[in-house]
Chain A
């Protein structure tokens, strides 16, 4: 085999999450009352704009979740006897690493500013004639193709950027043509009318916003790809890694923390919340006691305590975690679990309250009279009617979790230091602000990428909440 697939725990759970989302979408699309809120989202301009941004992040995160180990270089499959053996590198790569391999491999010596051709720090350079002088050395990769950087850099930057923008515009145009062609086929209208509707923003689904957002993203993408091959677009960090590469790799960590945490806590929160509300009595007392106790512990401290314990366990059992990737992944997953434990209580409380209300509603009483058991009632009658709360909570929690990761990593109880995340980027770069001249690019890049994701998620989750909250729907029938 040319590679050896590696299935990390978080990968498997992400795939599971995608599968659950797909099944839910299929299920919802067959039922009119479930389709209605999604149609509301689909027709919401701001919501769809935010969704396009989210989709790009998710795509990057998923591509980064396909892991494998390549065979060691120069060691083709050796055949000894009947058995074929290939030695695999211990480094776990992802599909994203392969796609942006130049970014990953072009490592400089230390800091360099965005688009720089020279290193950030002075070094002693040996001239060909044997003399030595202290100067900023040329970068190994950034702008290495230029003969005279001082003279050629501006022109080279401009022409590369122009070419990338032209390519991006072309690709965008192709996308527009595709959408218009598809709409023409679907509606049967002449293409000019379809185009006019789209231009004026008169379509059911806000294609104009979708195309504008994806256009902007495509231009950024092409710019990054075009310039990133020749320069370090966001500079390099202390050990010389490309900051753009680090920012892209952080996306997966952010997504994993934002989504898996809720996925892990959901079963407990739903089960316990509904049980507490439905059975009342001592079941309710016990469950309330459990979540009050858990929520009274300050979340950061509980996480810190759990992570410290895990660290001690990992330090004493190194044999259970054979590669760095596995160890980092175990810690990431554990962080999700412990974040889930601290955050399930609010959802559980909401579900309990809603179930308390629902169990006295006529249709539930009718079901009881007709002889339905508690399990049937809870699964068939109560669960579907509290799902909107679950969905809203999941959407609203996501952005908070992404932000929490950065803070936790700063405190030292976040992801493994070897995991690339915005938190670790910020943590390792925060002291660089004091340098002269200031190293600002790692921080700026991490904050920008994080801000874009969180803002998109916040905007999208607001739309989701408006669409699914029945109370809001009654109050504002038009919006």
Chain B
């Protein structure tokens, strides 16, 4: 087990290096610091001095990968690649264009993101699995047929519609919750309800349909027929036998996103004015702040890789046939 874990971590390193190199090429080679400076300072009336100052303030005035002017280790360490890209491995994200420390921003904004993403995730998966099991239990009936049709309709609706519609219906017409905003502590609860409801509803269609297919596949297997032949009730077969085995394919899709819950949801947070990492990312993109986008790309990839590892581990928990070696 420990050996397996170590191997997985070692395997993750080249992938993170790849992500790092890719973002470096995208942000500093394709799009040189000169370009960045010009985009930020305005394309037309920009003096070389202003550009040099902009770059110096952000540490973009050093050579890309090889600093011939420096000595010893400095030839490698006093470069953009070392200072801006490799430092990400130490989770040192540097500063945003407005001078704020990205690392502390992320630590601070993580909590509102989690306050939305965790309830959406837990409530969502509970509802989806329940609905899917009901549909699978009633398979072949009109409830199942129309349930699937409803799922297809739900998943054909744009997520933006759920948000705007939810804000209009619950926030404006019924006046149940504030339309957007956030507060600290327990007072945040009333701001959290609406985004959570919208987040759950917008995910129901696709997931319920997927889980129903998984359940049906499981129900058609031989061991279920054996269980029925033994005289077990359909409910017991479904909950005791099918659910356990269906968890394996369901886990594949679910566990991998758990670490990424930190990042929050881009559009949910942005629409509801939640000061989480999702809206942080969007603000970064909108203000063309490359430092923020770079930090989030790296963080997102790292969390995804952690998710992949957790998926593998979770198999050993739910599926005794899987032995990690």
Contacts and interface: CB of A to CB of B under 8 A. Distances in A.
Interface string A269-303: 00000000000000000000110111111101110
Contact of B167 (A295, A422, A433): A433
A403 B205 CA distance: 14
Interface in A311-343: 311-313, 315-316
Contact of B293 (A293, A295, A304, A450): A304
Given A305-B297, A426-B160, A298 B304 contact: yes
Contacts of A430: 160, 164, 271
10 contacts: A300-B266, A308-B31, A309-B26, A312-B38, A312-B39, A316-B38, A316-B43, A399-B156, A447-B160, A458-B155
A92 interface: no
Interface stretch (B13-21, B67-75, B107-115, B185-193): B13-21
A433 B220 CA distance: 49
B296 interface: yes
B286 interface: yes
Contacts, number: 131
A414 B270 CA distance: 16
A306 B26 contact: yes
Interface string B39-82: 10001000000000000000000000000000000000000000
B266 A305 contact: no
Contacts of A298: 260, 263, 296-297, 300-301, 304
B158 A451 contact: yes
A389 interface: no
A413 B18 contact: no
Given A309-B26, A316-B35, A316-B38, A410 B15 contact: no
Given A298-B296, A433-B172, A455-B156, 5 more contacts: A305-B290, A308-B293, A312-B288, A315-B39, A447-B160
A451 B35 CA distance: 40
Tell which of B23, B271, B300 has the most Cβ of chain A within 10 Å: B300
B1 interface: no
Interface of A: 289-290, 292-298, 300-302, 304-306, 308-309, 311-313, 315-316, 399, 403, 406-407, 410-413, 422, 426, 430, 433, 443, 447, 450-451, 454-455, 458-459, 462, 475
Nearest to B12: A296
B157 interface: yes
Given A305-B23, A305-B297, A309-B31, A411 B282 contact: yes
A358 to B, nearest CB: 22
A248 to B, nearest CB: 18
B22 interface: yes
Contact of B300 (A301, A399, A450): A301
Contacts of B164: 426, 430, 433, 443
Nearest to A301: B297
B267 interface: yes
Contacts of B288: 308, 311-312
A316 B32 CA distance: 12
A403 B202 CA distance: 13
The binding surface of chain B is classed by DSSP as: helix
B35 A302 contact: no
A312 B14 CA distance: 30
Closest 9 CB pairs of A and B: A293-B18, A298-B300, A455-B156, A454-B156, A309-B31, A296-B301, A296-B304, A304-B285, A301-B297
Q: How large is the interface on B (under 10, 10 to 19, 20 to 34, 35 or more residues)?
A: 35 or more
Nearest to A290: B18
Contacts of A443: 164
B153 A313 contact: no
Interface string B82-101: 00000000000000000000
A403 B14 CA distance: 33
Contacts of A311: 39, 288
B266 A458 contact: no
A79 to B, nearest CB: 40
A325 B172 CA distance: 39
Contact of B158 (A302, A411, A450): A450
A305 B293 contact: yes
B139 to A, nearest CB: 12
A297 B19 contact: yes
A21 B43 CA distance: 44
A327 to B, nearest CB: 15
Contact of B297 (A290, A297, A410, A462): A297
B208 interface: no
B171 to A, nearest CB: 10
Tell which of A294, A298, A413, A462 has the most Cβ of chain B within 10 Å: A298
Contacts of A454: 156-158
